[in-house]
Structure 1
Amino acid sequence: MPQDRAQRQAVGNQFSCVSSRRHRIRGNPPPRLLLPAGRRGRPAGWSGLPASRGGAVRRAGAARGRTIELRQKGAGMSAEKGSSVVLALGLCVGLIGGAAILGRSLQEIRKGERYVTVKGVAERDVKADLAVWGLKVRVAGNDLVEAGRSLEATRAKVLQFLSEKGFSAEEVSSQDLKVSDRQANDYGSGNTRDMLRYVVEATVLLRTRNVDLAQRVSRMTDELVRAGVVLSTKDDWQSAGPRFIFTQLNTIKPAMLAEATKSARAAAAQFAADSGSAVGSIRRASQGLFSITNRDQSAPGQGEGGGGSEDESDLNKRVRVVVTVDYVLKG
């Protein structure tokens, strides 16, 4: 039996080779060797399936591969589409939030721009606490030595006058001794030789806190005239009387600033009431200058926050300050 099977296989192989060469020459595919049914022997290379069925199986496998590939591509496109949708939604939410924040900021800025500028004034009447009185005496003569002696005698009379009125030696001092030769002046006129040549001047300065006494004594200078003393005001921009000065400004500054600010807020409240708003916090504030003037005399050119008067002959003073405040309006 084994020998018969080997012979059949050898015959089949020989037939297959001959048939293959014959059909290869003709250009046709070689015929497949079909063995009788029931025989278990199969030639080498036989697939056991018809050619048409094998092609169908291969095409079905390729179709399944393409289907799987398309499904994978579809899944990737779906994932990309989902991420794009999420990104678009996030962008929309960000734009809406940014617009809301910007609108609120513009609203706050618009609220901050609503303000009113007002001025507040505070005035206070005070009394001077320092008196400064310069008593200037002058003597003329052709003899310088004699003019100097005459000046010393005149100055002694002034010192005695002040001492008798109650001023201490610490409150009185001598200063500003000045001698001028009229003939030595290049700008002098031609008739200077007819005038006394030497002019000697001196100043007795009184500086006291007893302002009431200084004011009373300043009205008694006629006694000096009767004693032969002439007080000079030549080339002096100040008056012959004492100057009364208020030196305690720093002690009243805080209270006056508070009063001026209160006045400004009252004015701002009136403006706010007329516009249907309420007064808020201070946006900006500036302080003017403190002015000190004579109580019964307005300073020349005195304005809001202006300086004081040059005339200080009044014992009673008026202190004035002006502040400018910007208040925010609410509502």
Structure 2
Amino acid sequence: MREKDGTNKRWPGSGKSSFRRKRIALPTGQPSTGPGPKSCSKRFRQRHPARSPGEGTNMFSDRILAAAVGVCVAAGLVGGAFVLGQALQETRKADRYVTVRGLAERDVKSDLAIWPLKVRVAGNDLAQVSQTLEENRKKVSAFLIQNGFGPEEVVLQDLRVVDRQASEYGQSNAQQMFRYIVESTVLLRSTKVDSVWGVSQRVDELVRAGVVLSAENAWEGISPRYFFTQLNAVKPEMMAEATRNARTAAAQFAADSGSRVGAIRRASQGLFTISDRDRSTEQESGGGGPGASDPWKRVRVVVTVDYFLDQ
């Protein structure tokens, strides 16, 4: 250490000059106020604690976990936005549809004929009237069997007797009329539709034989009634045809609006109706009339379908 006088002092036994730190003597028993070596080391360790060997690895894992959580959150937001967009698109799609109707008609031939022949006899002697009625019923049965129908197809039905004098609401001219009216029905039920139709055209033969026939009702004739009973056999094909016709109509709507026909939104089936093919307008409107039932029937069905319209 250089002294104030500028001279260098050497350590004894040394050829080199060295400086000596000047020591300040403290009073005996007074502690040193300056930081010692141990105090500085302790503070350094508190400010910069030593890391364990695995601490660096744990920090790296935490960073990876945080990055993964961020990716998941971002993916969730993107997925939610996609689902919301799809839901809005489906909602708009549900509002774009067209309602159309498809018609299917088919002419079919009846497979069942029912012919009620009501025989009527009037007179003042009830026994004689009953005998005459029995004879006329036999004539009708023989007429049907002779024309190719079996006995099992001919059925004798109800017997009705009217006594005009015994009626509570008797007519004032009852004495001038026959007292008794006796009626009975001979019913023909057969699947030989063509034979029934042919025989019904020769019913005048019974009239010439003295048989008086009457209708079931005043607005009906004495012609047979024809029925089509195989509706279930034609239902599937007619439904398919009606649906195709409905789709054709929907395709026209779609073409006019610049769209294309999509899937079926809703469909409903109407009732199948069976009517006489050549029935007159008066009869179809419920006005009745003496016309005969037609062996040919027209089956008709209408379906209502809602189709989506896609862009």
Instruction: Judge same fold: TM > 0.5, yes or no.
Output: yes
The secondary structure found in structure 2 opposite 1:285 is: strand
d(CA) in 2 for partners of 1:241, 1:158 = 14
* Alignment of 1:318 onto 2:298: yes
Pairing 1:133-282 to 2, within 5 Å after superposition: 133-233=115-215, 235=217, 238-282=220-264
Structure 1 residue 111 corresponds to structure 2 residue 93:
yes
Give the secondary structure class of the aligned counterpart of 1:184: coil
Aligned AA (1:251): A
- Structure 2 regions of 5+ residues with no counterpart? 1-26, 50-61
Shift of 1:57: 7.6
Identify if the C-alpha distance between structure 1 residues 234 and 197 changes in structure 2 by more than 3 Å, giving closer, same or farther. farther
* SS of residue in 1 equivalent to 2:188: strand
CA distance in 2, matches of 1:83, 1:281: 47
Cα distance in 1 between the residues matched to 2:231 and 2:64: 78
Match of 1:50 among 25, 31, 34: 31
Larger Rg: 1
| Percent identity between the two aligned chains | 54
Q: 1:86 to 1:158 in 2, by over 3 A?
A: closer
Partner residue of 1:300 out of 251, 270, 284: 284
Contact persistence 1:294–1:312 (CA under 8 A)? no
Are the equivalent residues in 2 in contact too, given 1:165–1:217 (CA < 8 A)? yes
Does residue 1:132 correspond to 2:123, yes or no? Answer: no
The answer for unaligned runs of 5 or more in structure 1 is: 1-30, 34-48, 70-79, 303-310
Equivalent in the alignment of 1:3? none
Distance 1:216 1:247 in 2: 21
The one-letter code sitting in structure 2 at the alignment partner of 1:314 is D
Tell me which amino acid in the other structure corresponds to 1:325.
Answer: V
1:234 is displaced (CA, Å) by: 5.9
Once the two structures are overlaid, the 10-residue window that deviates more, 132-141 or 214-223, is 214-223
Which amino acid counterpart does residue 102 of structure 2 have in structure 1? G
| CA drift at 1:192 | 3.6
- Give the C-alpha shift of residue 178 in structure 1: 1.4
Equivalent residue number for residue 328 of structure 1? 308
Superposed CA deviations along residues 195-230 of structure 1, whole A, max 9, x for unmatched, are 333221100111122222222221222222221111
The runs of at least 4 consecutive aligned structure 1 residues that moved more than 6 Å come to: 55-59, 80-89
Aligned counterpart, 2:22: none
Structure 1 residue 99: Cα displacement:
2.1
* Partner deviation per Cα, 1:266-289 (whole Å, 9 max, x = no partner): 111111111222222222222211
| Letter paired with 2:161 | V
1:108-131, CA deviations, whole angstroms, 9 ceiling, x for partnerless residues? 332244222211111111222222
Q: Return the alpha-carbon distance in structure 2 between the equivalents of residues 118 and 132 of structure 1.
A: 39
Q: Is the 8 A contact 1:293 1:312 kept in 2?
A: no
Q: What TM-score do the two structures reach when normalised by structure 1?
A: 0.69
> Matched residue of 1:98: which SS?
helix
Distance, in Å, in 1 between the alignment partners of 2:259 and 2:228 is: 42
Question: Aligned-pair distance for 1:152?
Answer: 0.6
